[in-house]
Chain A
């Protein structure tokens, strides 16, 4: 029985064709993966199914009946629910209030409503507390509230947009059980993902999009492997990632972090005594599931977060007491996880962002030498192949890859001694990832010591000289990427202990 059938969907935006004849067929009672690079058209296609967009051409059928959704509520009424990456919940409302909002019976007591919500949650094994306010919940719990919202509206088709991106491994496994329970009731789940392993674990079939078109439909996940998936998504049989060939011997230590301890606002030790040394020309990789202390560690080394104790040395300088600016001036560059909003100032233009680190030295006295600033910008644009419309327009129009090349380029512009690169390729397309990885390799070859924090194991295996694993604020294991296996590293990430 076919639950969803999208045929020959076209959707054009100004300057972009997001869907160019995409198709998708999902069987009732199955978990169906939709795979594709960033910009492949996955989210647009899902928004067509969810009634957010009307397709320019093509048909949408649910259970064989052709549908024309004018607005999202039409799709919801027809049984399509969507859980977006950014949750749409009201933080100060309780779980029950969020679930029933706009879809509650006219007269019903609060406790009766809460009871109904918890019954629904139990039916699908969704652990939640209906009386709690949403702001108190973890990301995984919030996601369960979103799923409950869809189930409350009796969604027959549930779309999950990269649902595991915000989850811990345990929560991800839990999600797998929930989707299985829903599929067992005959509901269909559409699971958007980039990650092969979770597709193979959670899904029955997979459809791959590329350039707005469907390039493979309803493949059995058993037929997918890393090479096949990359080939379908990228369009050519590229090797997943080439292991970096080191061009120089590892030198003396350039960055030394000792016994770093960071407490968060709740008094929890989010970094619990981490020591890391990075040598000249070395890339030290840090693997770990998101939220295990990588971000506060990077912020603490860069001086952005107050530390409880610990020491940071770059070259021969002790930076522990210095502010972020002085640390940078002593040769510590930082590509933060949040490109826009931390590494780059969103409402300012490319020139302003290019000189964010160096404006104090551009021009004598109180004024900035605009000529020198523009020269620096065009220089960065040329060297790092950044595509900008006009340098004097806000950054908002730039693609992720261009933004990241601007940020990385600017950080490397002053010949740093050491670089912290946090999730430097996350969210970029294949070309963008390669461009950034090439820059990192080149910088290591010229002697920069790099601390590479990533959630992409392939990237870490390809680039790192040493691979550390963080779990619950500590470095729990160290591996040699040439001899370690993915499974070993994965086990350490999950907290199973290293060696």
Chain B
């Protein structure tokens, strides 16, 4: 109608996702450069500042990694479910549930030694996240209730619970009206790895590596992909869908809960905004990784660097709005370019969509 249209490629470009990400990034940086010039800045300087802030020295690396850890794990939580076609939109709430459970353990055993308390807090966080996902998992597996709705709604529940706790029973009497819990015991803080990074980096890297490899190479990961490709094909080869849905959604919640535990170990207390939107950012990370757990780590690192760079240029006098626009354009560019790995542009009327070609 308008002369151009999208047509599905018969053979998607190989390695297209990486190519798309790179091309999308370059295009976005170009558009961002135009904006910067218009705003009276030198794009080269600004981009150098961004790169330096993200990767310039060990401290920069530690800042970037601190962003990449929750992004990567939240992305993994979403991608594990996504690889079998399930959508866990509730990572945000599961992070909160994890943080609540971790705090609860710290309140119960404030005098435990760090090497005992920290693993217990993390374990509790993992269980907390899994428990919040259990309801949606059971409802989906046994009653077919759409997990998108249930996981999304439980976010609100988790937010209300943490709000109640920090305003009520867990409120720090010394906080003079601020809705925060008392500080965690000192030994509950995760040990520092280097600069600003703590051992959460090691834990996240290990979890991402194990799940990335497992999803790609194991029989379990294979079954997930079969179920994600076609439920009927999964039944045909004797994969129990109910059990898969249940385990995958609970596992997804557990990984998100881990984020909550690690956040708790990287801060001094639980507050209402403990999840900080990491759970929702995880959806973007998983989408950019095409729901492949093995692709999440690289995306999270790039996304983390972008955030750190975006904050840094605010110090250079670049308005916050432009900084955010650049971040958004880069994400849109990468996501948009991914479309062209599976679609191409055709003149209208001359080409065919896949369905037409199939019946031609």
Contact = CB atoms under 8 A, between A and B. Distances in A.
Interface stretch (A57-65, A95-103, A285-293, A319-327): A319-327
A85 interface: yes
Given A325-B238, A347-B229, A359 B350 contact: no
A432 to B, nearest CB: 16
Interface string A10-25: 0001111010000000
Interface string B229-240: 110110111110
Contacts of B226: 345, 348, 352, 356
A267 interface: no
B352 A344 contact: no
Classify the secondary structure of A's interface with B: loop
Contacts of B214: 366
A345 B359 contact: no
A13 B229 CA distance: 28
B350 A344 contact: no
Interface size class of B (residues with CB under 8 A): 20 to 34
Interface string A246-283: 00000000000000000000000000000000000000
Interface in A333-350: 334, 336, 338, 341-348
Given A13-B352, A397-B11, A359 B222 contact: yes
A336 B11 CA distance: 26
A324 B349 contact: no
Interface in B203-259: 214, 217-220, 222, 225-226, 228-230, 232-233, 235-239
B356 A47 contact: yes
Contact of B10 (A14, A70, A334): A14
A485 B228 CA distance: 47
A387 B351 CA distance: 25
A344 B233 contact: yes
A53 B236 contact: no
B236 A348 contact: no
A389 B11 CA distance: 10
A323 B236 contact: no
Interface in A40-95: 41, 43-44, 47, 52-54, 70-71, 84-85
A397 B342 CA distance: 13
Nearest to B227: A345
A328 to B, nearest CB: 7
A53 B355 CA distance: 13
Contact of B236 (A85, A304, A352): A304
A219 interface: no
Contacts of A360: 219
Contact of A43 (B12, B236, B359): B359
Contacts of A338: 232
A370 interface: yes
B360 interface: yes
Nearest to A52: B356
Nearest to A344: B233
A368 interface: yes
Contacts of A16: 360
Interface of A: 13-16, 18, 41, 43-44, 47, 52-54, 70-71, 84-85, 161, 302, 304, 323-326, 328, 334, 336, 338, 341-348, 352, 356-357, 359-360, 363, 366-368, 370, 389, 393-394, 396-397
Given A70-B349, A367-B217, A370-B217, 9 more contacts: A13-B360, A14-B10, A85-B359, A325-B237, A336-B236, A346-B229, A352-B226, A359-B219, A368-B222
Interface of B: 1, 10-12, 14, 214, 217-220, 222, 225-226, 228-230, 232-233, 235-239, 349-352, 354, 356-357, 359-360
